[in-house]
Copies of this chain bind each other. A is one copy, B any other.
Amino acid sequence: MTDSSPENSQITKESLFEKVLKTKNVFLFVPNLIGYARVLLSIVSFYIMPTRPYISITCYLSSEFLDAVDGHAARALGQCTKFGAMFDMLIDRCSTMCLCFILAMFYPKWTFFFQIWTAIDVASHWLHLHTATAKGSDSHKKINLSGNPILRLYYTSRKVLFAMCAGNELWFSMVYILHFNEGPAVISYGGYAIGLWRIILYAVTPIMILKQIISLIHLYTAALDMTVIDETERGNQTKNK
């Protein structure tokens, strides 16, 4: 057998992959490598977003698809890390935010809506994660099951969570694409036609609204939790004096 035989190449490839899996360097964990790919795809997406809709949306949705993949990879490979969870959260929030920049540019009359929407999105996720960390939870997705029932459903079913996030991202993607065209005509009635992008938009609008309501609930419950932590600490400080 020569060095370039299939068997040796197979062994060499396995060793490389195994090496990657065995690394102790958190920055080289597979889910975080996926994260770097997501960052790159997102940056490319935003650079061309004002002018090239299809490449842009392809990059953006690829990044969102990888968002589902990196969690699975982390659990399958035993490479879940606090850094990875934070990295994931930051990419999500920043990419939605950057998309909203473009949408505010395309639809100036809706600027205020996109500003408030993004502010609530960032603030609710940030406060919720911060409170969970301060309380000492392993993951902000593990919540007290005796808590708010809507949040409970949102987090106990992975399918519900996925559908909500996917539907929400689709809404923003459709708003973006609709700036350029209506999409292939799906319904033609007399002279009246509705394009595919608009139909998808209408279909996912309830999901977008529901997700925003859930964000507000997050904001509210996280604020309450933070003040409980504060009041407990202040109570302890008073006792120890």
Could you tell me if B111 and A50 are in contact, using CB atoms closer than 8 angstroms? Answer: yes
Copies of this protein in the assembly total 2
Whether A127 is near chain B, meaning CB under 8 Å from some CB there, is: yes
Q: Which of B43, B133, B226 contacts A130 (CB 8 A)?
A: B133
**Please, how many angstroms separate the alpha-carbon atoms of A133 and B81 in the complex?**
16
**Please, how many angstroms separate the alpha-carbon atoms of A111 and B112 in the complex?**
17
Whether A119 is near chain B, meaning CB under 8 Å from some CB there, is: yes
Whether A115 is near chain B, meaning CB under 8 Å from some CB there, is: yes
Could you tell me if B227 and A112 are in contact, using CB atoms closer than 8 angstroms? Answer: no
**Taking the nearest CB of chain B, how far is it from the CB of A74, in angstroms?**
12
Residues from chain B with Cβ under 8 Å of A214 in the complex: none
Q: Which of B94, B115, B223 contacts A119 (CB 8 A)?
A: B94
Residues from chain B with Cβ under 8 Å of A173 in the complex: none
Which A106-163 residues have C-beta < 8 A from chain B?
108, 111-112, 114-116, 118-119, 122-123, 126-127, 129-130, 133-134
**Please, how many angstroms separate the alpha-carbon atoms of A50 and B230 in the complex?**
39
Select from chain B the residue with minimum beta-carbon distance to A233.
B82
Grouping DSSP codes into helix (H, G, I), strand (E, B) and loop, the A interface class, with mixed when no group exceeds half, is: helix
Could you tell me if B97 and A227 are in contact, using CB atoms closer than 8 angstroms? Answer: no
Residues from chain B with Cβ under 8 Å of A118 in the complex: 97-98, 101
Could you tell me if A122 and B94 are in contact, using CB atoms closer than 8 angstroms? Answer: yes
**Please, how many angstroms separate the alpha-carbon atoms of A114 and B98 in the complex?**
9
Whether A201 is near chain B, meaning CB under 8 Å from some CB there, is: no
Q: Which of B94, B105, B123, B231 contacts A111 (CB 8 A)?
A: B105
Whether A178 is near chain B, meaning CB under 8 Å from some CB there, is: no
Could you tell me if A82 and B119 are in contact, using CB atoms closer than 8 angstroms? Answer: no
Select from chain B the residue with minimum beta-carbon distance to A226.
B83
22 contacts between A and B (CB under 8 A): A24-B234, A25-B227, A26-B226, A26-B231, A27-B223, A27-B227, A43-B116, A46-B112, A82-B230, A82-B233, A90-B123, A97-B97, A97-B115, A97-B122, A98-B119, A102-B104, A102-B111, A105-B105, A105-B108, A105-B111, A122-B122, A133-B134
